[in-house]
Amino acid sequence: MNKIGKILFPGGIIFILLINFLWITTNYVKADSFTPFLDFATDPKLISKVLGGNQDEQNFKTDLATGAAVYNQKIDLPEGRNGLTSEVSLSYNSQSGADDSEVGYGWNLISGGSIERTTEYGVEDIYTTNEFNLSMNGNSGKLLPINLVDDSHGEYGLQVEEKFYKYEFLLDDSWLITDQNGTQYKFGQTTDSRLDDPNDNTRIFSWELDEITNTNNNTINYLYFKEDGQIYPAEINYDPFSVVFNRQARNDETKWYDKGFEVQTTYLISNIEVFIDNYANNDPAREYELTYTTGDNGRRSLLHSITERGRNEA
């Protein structure tokens, strides 16, 4: 079972979310009707057995369309000016088989957004097909060309449009999305926010969200760290707040070639820090620590716990 414990300490509050993968594995079999991977950790050692509190079952759900066991853990962030605030969360899906996640097998760190090329027609057609997949703040789907100015650049639209945003693939190979209120979302403006072929930087597979700017000139900036072809979130800045993603080396480095070039994942996110007043005293107002265990093969990284620590003013 998931257990949420609350312990009061002088000057702060610690919330600890212990994720027991035995619960997940049991429901994984029940929902999906087949045996989990053999190296899936089924009974990791719990950090503590003295925590009390109600069981946090409301975040565990079964996807009725796929039968997958799913879970979502939101990272609480302070609200920005005029309501312009980033969203960060950790999500689990029992049917996710990706080994290259920066937060462990089966998990995904949702931060900002991205646009990536479709791979449904095979590796050989990735960079000749004008179809892209958008994921951004609940606005997701397939982008298809509407009015192009050359072979690939120009205006695009969602295959199933609900919010009627304007989607533009610009001549500098970046993306610009504008919503009905005039808020702009800019993707792939820097080399660090573009996942591209190290031998040919014109072959860009995906574009990460760099900036959000509303009509009041309030801005959220997203910074990234790029190494061995992989992109990791580094910072989110929206004055006076900053969110910092720290990394640690992983023992289960993975290499993937499904994008037409090698992408190697060598890091895990170790903690997420939230700062107020531009890193005042280098003391985070809130911190989420992520710990990992391994599967039965002794290598695969599995998210074991999320620990939240924070001052009352966070």
Report the SS3 class of residue 83.
helix
Q: What confidence tens digit (pLDDT) does each residue in 93-127 have?
A: 888 766 678 999 889 999 999 999 999 998 999 99
Task: Name the CA dihedral angle for 170, 174, 177, 183, rounded to a multiple of 10 degrees.
Answer: -110
Nearest to 200 by CA among 133, 268, 127, 125: 127
Alpha carbon distance 208, 231 (integer Å): 9
> What's the pLDDT at 279?
61
Task: Identify the residue whose tokens are 């290259």.
Answer: 100
Q: Is the per-residue pLDDT at 7 higher than 70?
A: no
Task: Identify the residue whose tokens are 């970046």.
Answer: 174
Q: Is the per-residue pLDDT at 55 higher than 80?
A: no
With a pLDDT cut of 90, the percent of the chain lying above it is: 54
Q: Which residues pair with 4 in a beta bridge?
A: 17
CA distances to 201, 202, 262 from 205, rounded to whole Å, are 10, 9, 12
| pLDDT interval class at 29 (50, 70, 90) | very low
With a pLDDT cut of 70, the percent of the chain lying above it is: 77
Alpha carbon distance 148, 169 (integer Å): 9
Question: DSSP letter at 26?
Answer: H
The per-residue b/e assignment along 80-116, b for 16 or more CB within 10 angstroms, e otherwise, is beeebbbebebbbbbeeeebbbbbbbbbbbbbbbbbb
CA distances to 2, 10, 14, 212, 215 from 51, rounded to whole Å, are 11, 18, 11, 40, 46
Instruction: Give all strands of the β-sheet with 107-111 in edge-to-edge order.
Output: 60-62, 69-75, 88-93, 107-111
> What's the pLDDT at 185?
97
> What's the pLDDT at 97?
66
Q: Is the per-residue pLDDT at 275 higher than 60?
A: yes
* 286-294/132-136 β-pairing: unpaired
- Report which of residues 231 and 66 the model is more confident about: 231
pTM of the model: 0.80
Q: What confidence tens digit (pLDDT) does each residue in 207-252 have?
A: 999 999 999 999 999 999 999 999 999 999 998 999 999 999 998 8
| pLDDT interval class at 162 (50, 70, 90) | confident
Alpha carbon distance 197, 199 (integer Å): 5
Q: Which two tokens stand for residue 165?
A: 């945003």
